[in-house]
Structure 1
Amino acid sequence: MDPPEEDFDNFEPEVYDDFDRPYSSNYDNNSRNGYYSTQRKISLNDADDNHLDEAELEGLVMTNNTTTSRVGSKSKTAAPLYLHYTKQLRQKCAPVIALLSLAWTPRYRTTSCIALLFIAFLSSVILTSDEENAWHNSLLSHTSSKSTFVYKNTKYDPFASVNSNQRHYILKSIYGFWGFFDGGADDRPKEPYMTVENAGNPFLDLTESKFPEESWQADAVYANHFQDAGAKLVVRAKEAIYATYHGYGLKNVQATDEADDTVTWELENIDERLQERINMFMVSQEVDLGSITSAEALDEIAPSWKEKGGWTTSRSWDGLKRRLLHALMTNSPFTVVVTGSWQSMGYGGNHGHQSMAATMESLLGPLFDKLNVQLVVRAIGLPPLTGLNSQEENDLMVGGRSTLIHSLGWSSIYGSDVDMVVWDDYNLENGQSDETAKALFDLFARQALLAGDTSLPFLWGGDFDVLRNLHESADVDVGQLGNAMAGVDETDSESAVSSLEWAAQYLKCSSKTQRYCDGESYKFDSHCWVDHGGNAPPTPQLDHIPVLPTAIGWRMHQIKGYTLSYNILAALDDAIDFWAEKTIFEGHPLADENWHMGEYITNVQDKVKALTESDAPHCFQLEELMKLPKRLCKSRMKGRTEHTPRANPADTSLRTVITNSDVSVESDGLYEGYLSDDAMIHSGEVNPIEIANLGKDPSNAKERHLLQKRWLRQRVMRRADDKSSGRVLLSSMIRSTNQRTTAIGDIKSQPQRRLDKIEPGDGWKVLHTFPGDKCDGSILSTGCGALKSSECLLEGHQGSRGGVWGIESVGWLVLKASGVESGFVALNLELCNTLPDSFVLEYAIENGETRTMSTLNKEQFAEKVQMPVPGMRLLTVFDDEKNTKSDLVVSIRVKGCNDDCQFGVTHFYWS
């Protein structure tokens, strides 16, 4: 098992700064929670390139507002700010000064006084206006509390007057950078030791005695340095998130001597900045769900949790730390699933890379790589449905309903390897909940907890009552996320908005300026095509992604993504600190009881299966509400679908369980040209990914490549030779029933034949999905390119509502459910056209040597098919709790309507 050593090849065994001095570590293990009182003056001449000191571990290195830092070979004191601007004023305002001097001569003094009085009158009118006043447009102002300088209504850009090399030196000196070397890499074990066979269990819970002496986990020197570097990396990323909304903490940055690259700057106060950051993202970890019995009581105890980082319990927080330590110790992937309503997934006006999940993945992915842990993120959600009546649209908007279509196949569609689930239902956040919503979320949560054999997710988000029941009765780790809006500066006027950081503009408004925050041009920022001189798009492109009502903008997605990131970083910070404290006294490797997951997972899953209606009633209510058997609340559900995105797309497609031969995938064809979103970072915008990934030398080609790859929020790239991908515009994937009817019309009639036995039919087609099997919900997925018919090639979402479609003449569709454990099998169907009175649906269940045939006429079909939520037609074809045969074969076909009956199977569920 190779130790974490990202970027090791760029360093020698002993790391030196640019002035050939070896580094030294000042990490204070006795400092609680990473807060340090020691401060020091920073300049590159005496800066430690590789290590942050005590103060840097929990914030920027700052002394006070008058501290000057230098980069370069000469020591120079920064000129006062007023002298810097006085020089500019002298140069640019000389003609005005001359004119004023002339106006005040005795000859023109009377006329000048009258003119001044008139100007004063106009000024009073302007200054008494509301937020539209133009004072900021004409005067130079300085806001010292935020170190924001406004000149002609433009936010101060600290790097406007320095070159890229100077900029990099400044950032390194303030934030530090990753530079870590394993001096014993050559001696590490060559044979893998972190294996199921060696551990003796599927959880990779390797005991202390089984770690080789040369392993990095048992090497005190390596592990201590790794903990040190990891802690600093995490703090750097936390500060980077805060800087996105409050700037770099720099002021008066000046290149004082171009000849020798000398630069001076000043820094904000460390204590104020640190306290503001903590207040913005603080997660309340002391919530006692034993005494807090309702959401209303929670709001009384922690009234601001929604506007900060959220809440959890101390036991749950320890559980999250345990999961992270397990990933660090075993170098295993850490998997996060983000799901919820279509608004929460970023549909309706935003690019895919602007969503909450993509924001988190683009920041934390490179950081986890450095720690040799692969961060796997799946954003599993669907675009909104059209073709619904107003009542159905309103019903689907109530929290939880949009996830049911995947919840019934949770372990397959979301994945069986999940460490964290973020259930981010936008409509539930806004108070739209009822007993059905609670029951549906309870089913979702239980399926998530039962999905994995070797994993157990931490649950972020969802209904409070459900979370409390699971926490108290089944030891489940739970919490609810906030949005950190408490730390966002308010947009109190349009004229002053540019004094805010780009991410904070129009994000939080007062009542008098709310119209700006709600304005479409401020709320959304998208474009469908960038002319790069290559192949022209085959379909005329829209200017921007169509905006749908109730959609939330990219800034809200971003801050939610960074709030989630900050919570994960905070837990990772605590985990590393705990690891360091334990091993200082107990030695390496970390003791088994601190990171093993086997007993932890088994305990929770056994208790979830044992829950009674008196302990946690909500899920069990689905039998009465939707005719879903109660045992589904205790049994793991599996499934297959053609909807995207989904976990492991190649393995979870409906086609993997269909025995019919030659089921073709129909699509509009791929646009094969090169796609590039050339929208660069906005001027003066803080790039948190750059800060978190600061390296030794930005001129290094490898590092430049990595930074470009990681900045995926701003660039959506695709290889021109990728032949197996597909992406489509939102409006193309939310086709109405009429549009689907046109598409299915391409299926050709097959010759009728008498079937004495069930034989798989020919001519079934997969429609309304992406070609290829790579749409897994991650922003790095290469399986979702652009369809030729797309009107917005850069839209970037992976949501499609595909299915296997057929008509009467194509005969039987035959599917196989393997590993049925609780005797339940169901299909989700879609139908086009009005069913004639002669309509008949037949299905058969083969259970070993037994075959059961069922025939439903139009009236019987309407009675048996359930519509638990709008957009679903659930047909239960097998429900026998006593019959738990491991494999069942399901066959289905329609009759009595020639080729007018067009129907599709979108999901196949079993348990």
Structure 2
Amino acid sequence: MERNSDMDALVNSHIQRTRGTVRNRGEHGVLCRPSYLFMTVLLLVVFVATFLTESIEININLKKVDGSGDSKPESSEAKKATSPSSKPSPSSKPSTTGEDANSYENEVASGKFSIPNVEDDPANADNSNVERDVDNISDSTVPGGGSTSEEVPVSPSHVDEAVVPETLVQDTVIDNLESISNNRTPVSTGDAPSKSPTFGAEDLPPGFKKHPSAISDVYVRRGKPLDDAEKAKLADTWGSWTFVDQNANNRPSADFYADYPHRDIPFDKIPETSWQKDPAYLASFLPEAQALVERAMEAILAEYGHSKFDEPQMDFEKRSDMFSLTMLDLEKGEKFPKTASNAGCTTKRSFDGLVRRILHAIMSEDTFNFVMGGHSSAAGHGNHFQQSYTLQFQKVMEPIFARLGVKLTSRNIGMGGLGTLHNSLGAGSIYGSELDILMWDSGMTERGAPIVDLFSIQGMIGGSRVPFIIAEGSLAELHTHAGADVGKLGTGMRGIQKTDSVKTLEQIPWAARYMDCSPEMRTECGNNKYRGTCWIHRPDFNPKLAQKAVPGGRANWHPGDRSHQLEGRVLAFLVLRAIKQALDLWASAENYRLPDEYWHVAGYYQSIRSKLISLNPAIGGCHQNEGIIQRACSTAMKSRTEFTPRNNPSETSIRSILKGNYDFKILPNVYDPPDVFVPDLSVPDGVFEYLAVVENGEDFQPELSRVQRFSSTRRLKSTHHRSLANPSITPGKGWFFTGNSAPDNCDGTYDSFCGRSQDNPCLLYGHNDGRSGLLFDSLSGWLIMDLVELKEGIIILKIEDWHGAKSNKATEGWRCENGSAECSGRRLSSAIRRGNYTSTQLDRNLKAKPPEYCEKFVFEYAIDGKVTQMKKDEFMKKMIQAQRVVQLWVLLDDPNFSSGDPKDVELAFRITGCGREKTMHLTHVYWA
């Protein structure tokens, strides 16, 4: 970095003055003494260092003002997009990040399978070897603390300012938000949009706050700011939303759907003043909604050069061929293809089921939820979290659903180096109980029908809704024998132009460039595969740790942001087609009265669920899963975990069901949301923008489902207290939480905000996935929890037994359980015991060879106070190696345990006999 010339002159002048002083004093012979010479040199070094640092920091600020602070672009395309340099930061160090995850994916791809020493994915990664993968930049426990300036106290604590690598510099800390008034206003860090009412944000302390968009009762525009002239021009060309409910103030304010299962209120019970019974309202609303859907489909086609303006001589079906949907007739023997270059395939009955779900969401003003479970490629590693296809779908479809009065939530529950088994066993809790679409995408880490079918079946029987399934496995069998709604997503590559030379790039739409490349262009395409940056200067906060130039995880098998964008558009087009059919069906109803059987879902869900539960074990592959109890294929399981991301993190953590005070230290983010505007999350200036078309128009209105959801979050649930089943079993004091910073914000959504920890070298990366849990050893004592509504007599623990000896900080300095004074003679203070467990320490521990079980090892567990012991050999024998890094212990498998009646059960367990030499990690608890 070049230093400012004025500052150089200032430093040189100061040095000359200092030297002159030395010479003058030297004439008297005083400073010729060695001690005085040493002190003089020391002072000189201090002065020079001080002014050099000031010069660098002032230079950064000057670059912020004059716009010269942008680093070199990655390539010819990146120059146009003003993206940051692809070179690693000079301060970045090589890392082994992701080797564990990537080696596993390579093994699966080559047909091998092994259980090597496990190393988790630390936060430091570089891209010097494209075969490497950063499977989570915030995957392990990180130290707390924060940083902020004295003037803007927005983060949890104060630290010294640090010089960060050159990167994009922005004048104002803003997020790309827009208030409901259509007026763009820069949003300061931690503030909500100026006119967006929020709920509960004031209750959260610094370091744990949620994104303003996540707590708004109205959709917040995500597109680039437009002035009135630009909006008017767009409206003339594309149209815009003009509908306004003239009788909005006279509509019922009560949630009259809530008294009916699944909000299936009979039409004749809907209040007469409701919009559903207002023909004048529907006569205006439905055509406006139909036009919006057509506008959205045309806007997606425009991104790829196939809109009605690009190809006016062709009809819609030909222009949209890349997003066409194949309807299979399974009764005639048609099969799901391995791959498809269009939007994919489904059946008419399944598509009609998706239409029903959409009609239900609109009619009952409910939510609509999409969840993806998958591996690192699906999670979007190498890209910003918000660039992943799941969240691209959210970005594209959220304003469409918002105009229809529906709250859309999409969750990216992808994790690097793992499959889906660990989440599938508790899908109703971890993925969510109210799913409308559930997608499996983990082909590199798990293959074959058995594991995919477990994912699909638990996804359908584990929650209150039965989702439309997008997956592999036994789709046809589940559809034919259980009535499941199923589909398989295509690639959409049918409509992508080939990138065959640099000269023809300008002729290819921006979104389609570098996607289908000729051999001559492979290098150029590789150089333009990703867009991303780790840090953009903001005036209110400087990271302590130097930030990398670009995110890690750019493995050769990970798709870049354009690929994720296309997959998100493929899924969006599928849903847009279903919305269009739903609206057309509604508009054709006599007097716009939609019969209940078209949109009620309770009976529909119950029919599918009951067939799945009673499904013949010979159908499909679920019962072929080795080691997993067979009842998991027909029994709805519950789960609590510390792995992230997950649905509703504050209520699905293991911590949420514990009895007693375990004094866990939950680390905060070092700054609060929103992030600054990140250009790489939007198309470059001058490129057609989808959101500019679909967001244009009247103000968005509050959605009933948003208001209900955020009003309820303000009412804190009371902690469930029950007397201990066995008074001799008391909560242990040596359990250590290894989670992300602000883990209860890691919900996999577009506005999730967690993992912004002090040792994160890429704070804008945004990924949620972390293998968090509770560390324990033989000195930790009992962990006690309540398992609510246990009915089927199943309890399973997922425990990692490979963690390094003496790695549990909570028991450091102890010799006996719970740090008993009689045994240790001295107990470390809580501040020392709860010291930070850094990613470097975790990486070091997990790389080491796992210590053997000591001969005196005993695992004790108590169910409602009744203690059972397993010594080393029995405990090891009962371990189920379900997948490479998925170890399960079944503590209860008794269908007669509760005599068919649900009951709350107390579970407690501990290990003894090995001191601090055997450290284990609890990550999941499953029960049914």
- What's the TM-score bracket when you normalise by the shorter of the two chains? 0.5 to 0.7
Counterpart CA distance in 1 for 2:371 and 2:240 is 30
Which of 590, 612, 616 is the matching residue for 1:612?
616
Task: Determine if the alignment matches structure 1 residue 459 to structure 2 residue 469.
Answer: yes
Deviation at 1:499, TM superposition (A): 2.3
3-state SS in 1 of match to 2:670: coil
Asked if the contact 2:669/2:755 (under 8 Å) is kept, the reply is: no
Judged with a 3 Å threshold, the aligned counterparts in structure 2 of structure 1 residues 273 and 526 are, in CA distance, closer, same or farther, namely farther
Name 2:412's counterpart in structure 1: 379
Find the partner of 2:695 among 693, 703, 710. 693
User: Structure 2: which 5+ residue stretches go unaligned?
Assistant: 1-225, 703-725, 805-850
| Correspondent of 2:884 among 857, 865, 870 | 870
Shift of 1:592: 0.9
Shift of 1:343: 0.7
Any residues of structure 2 matched to 1:557-706 within 5 Å, and which?
A: 557-581=564-588, 583=589, 585=590, 587-614=591-618, 616-622=619-625, 625=626, 627-667=627-667, 670-671=670-671, 675-679=675-679, 681-695=683-697
Deviation at 1:814, TM superposition (A): 1.6
Amino acid aligned to 1:244: E
- Compare CA radii of gyration and give the structure with the larger one: 1
C-alpha change, 1:186 and 1:542, in structure 2 (3 Å) is closer
Shift of 1:188: 2.5
2:774 match: 804
Indicate if the aligned counterparts of 1:417 and 1:452 stay in contact, CA closer than 8 A: yes
Equivalence for 1:505: 513
Of residues 738, 756, 767, the one that matches 1:767 is: 738
Counterpart residue number, 1:522: 528
Q: Which contiguous aligned blocks of 4+ residues in structure 1 show a shift greater than 6 angstroms? A: none
SS class of match (2:691): helix
The offset of 1:535, in angstroms, is 2.6
**Relative to 1, partners in 2 of residues 1:895 and 1:509: Cα closer, same or farther, differing over 3 Å?**
same
Displacement of 1:186: 3.7
Percent identity between the two aligned chains: 30
Aligned residues of 1:671 and 1:788 also touching (Cα < 8 A) = no
Matched, 1:236 2:299: no
Deviations 1:4-49 (A, max 9, x none): xxxxxxxxxxxxxxxxxxxxxxxxxxxxxxxxxxxxxxxxxxxxxx
Contact 2:859/2:875 (CA < 8 Å) preserved in 1? no
- Residues in 1 aligned to 2:910 and 2:516: alpha-carbon distance in whole angstroms: 54
Amino acid of the residue matched to residue 854 of structure 1?
Answer: Q
Runs of 5+ in structure 1 lacking a partner? Answer: 1-162, 250-266, 300-304, 385-395, 397-401, 697-701, 707-754
Which whole-Å CA distance do the structure 2 matches of 1:756 and 1:820 have between them? Answer: 22
Cα distance, 1:853–1:176 mapped onto 2, change above 3 Å: same
Give the aligned residue type for 1:540.
A
User: CA separation in 2, counterparts of 1:678 and 1:609?
Assistant: 47
Inter-partner Cα distance in structure 2 for 1:193 and 1:899: 57
Amino acid at match of 1:764: W
Kindly tell me: are residues 187 and 536 of structure 1, through their superposed partners in 2, closer, same or farther at Cα, counting changes over 3 Å?
A: closer
TM-score by length of 2: 0.65
Does residue 851 in structure 1 map to residue 866 in structure 2? yes
Partner of residue 321 from structure 2, selected from 279, 295, 299 = 279
Q: How far off is 1:825 after superposition?
A: 0.6
Aligned partners of 1:248 and 1:617: how far apart in 2?
42
For residue 332 of structure 2, give the secondary structure of its aligned residue in structure 1.
Answer: coil
Shift of 1:533: 4.0
Counterparts of 1:447 and 1:612, CA distance in 2: 16
**Counterpart amino acid of residue 539 in structure 1:** L
User: CA–CA distance in 1 between the matches of 2:858 and 2:294?
Assistant: 61
In the alignment, which of 875, 879, 886 is matched to residue 893 of structure 2? 879
Once the 2 structures are TM-superposed, how far is the Cα of residue 576 of structure 1 from its aligned partner? 0.2
Rounded to whole Å, the distance in 1 between the matches of 2:509 and 2:384 is 21
Which region of structure 1 is more displaced relative to structure 2, 807-816 or 570-579?
A: 807-816
Q: Alignment partner of 1:556: what SS?
A: helix
**SS, match of residue 307 in structure 1:** coil
Write the deviation string for residues 548-591 of structure 1: whole angstroms up to 9, x where unpaired: 3421111111100011011111100010001111x2x3x34311
Q: Whole-Å Cα distance in 1 between the matches of residues 910 and 235 of structure 2?
A: 66
Query: What does residue range 18-57 of structure 1 map to in structure 2 within 5 Å?
Result: none
Letter of the structure 2 residue corresponding to residue 448 of structure 1:
G
Structure-2 separation of matches of 1:899 and 1:570: 59
AA of the residue aligned to 1:234: V
Alignment of structure 1 residues 233-312 onto 2, 5 Å: 233-246=292-305, 267-272=309-314, 274-285=316-327, 287-292=328-333, 294-295=335-336, 298=337, 306-312=340-346
Instruction: Specify whether residues 839 and 354 from structure 1 end up closer, same or farther in structure 2 by C-alpha distance, changes over 3 A only.
Output: farther
Q: Structure 1: which amino acid aligns with 2:621?
A: H
Match of 1:118 in 2: none
**Structure 2 residue 875 is matched with structure 1 residue 861:** yes
- Deviation digits for residues 171-223 of structure 1 (CA, Å, limit 9, x no counterpart): 21221000112233343334442231xxxx31221112112222111111111
Shift of 1:867: 1.4
What RMSD in Å do the two structures reach over aligned CA positions? Answer: 2.4
From 446, 454, 458, give the equivalent of 1:447. 458
The answer to whether 1:212 aligns with 2:271 is yes
Q: d(CA) in 1 for partners of 2:600 and 2:666? A: 47
- Tell me how far apart the structure 2 counterparts of residues 887 and 500 of structure 1 sit (CA, whole Å): 61
TM-score scaled by length of structure 1? 0.66
SS at match of 1:439: helix
CA shift for structure 1 position 166: 5.0
Q: Which of 412, 425, 428 is residue 442 of structure 2 equivalent to?
A: 425
2:208 aligned residue: none
Q: Deviations over 1:472-519 (max 9, x none)?
A: 0011100101121101111111232232222111011234434443x1
Offset at residue 608 of structure 1 (A): 0.5
Task: Please report how far the alpha carbon of residue 895 of structure 1 lies from its aligned counterpart in structure 2 after TM superposition.
Answer: 1.9
Q: C-alpha distance in 1, partners of 2:764/2:345?
A: 36
Pair 1:788 & 2:758 matched: yes
Q: Secondary structure at the match of 1:550?
A: coil
Give the CA deviation at 1:374.
0.4
Distance 1:549 1:867 in 2: 29
Distance 1:814 1:486 in 2: 55
In 1: Cα distance, 2:372 partner to 2:524 partner: 29
Distance in 2 (alpha carbons) for counterparts of 1:374 and 1:489: 35
Distance 2:655 2:862 in 1: 19
* SS at 2:773 equivalent: strand
**2:730 match: secondary structure:** coil
2:586/2:592 contact within 8 Å kept: no
Q: What is aligned with 1:842?
A: 859
Match of 1:222 in 2: 281
Does the residue aligned with 2:643 lie in a helix, a strand or coil? strand
| 1:323-362 paired onto structure 2 within 5 Å | 323-347=357-381, 349-362=382-395
Q: Deviations over 1:117-160 (max 9, x none)?
A: xxxxxxxxxxxxxxxxxxxxxxxxxxxxxxxxxxxxxxxxxxxx
Q: Counterpart of 2:891 in 1: which secondary structure? A: strand
1:541 aligns with 2:547: yes
Give the 3 Å change call, closer, same or farther, for CA 839–690 of structure 1 in structure 2.
Answer: farther
Count of aligned positions:
627
Q: Identify if the C-alpha distance between structure 1 residues 808 and 294 changes in structure 2 by more than 3 Å, giving closer, same or farther.
A: same
User: In the alignment, which residue of structure 2 is the partner of 1:814?
Assistant: 784
The answer as to whether partners of 1:657 and 1:815 remain within 8 angstroms in 2 is: yes
Distance in 2 between residues matched to 1:810 and 1:423, nearest whole Å: 37
Amino acid at match of 1:596: H
SS of equivalent residue, structure 2 residue 262: coil
CA distance in 1, matches of 2:235, 2:592: 31
In structure 2, do the counterparts of structure 1 residues 768 and 187 end up closer, same or farther at CA, with 3 Å as the change threshold?
Answer: closer
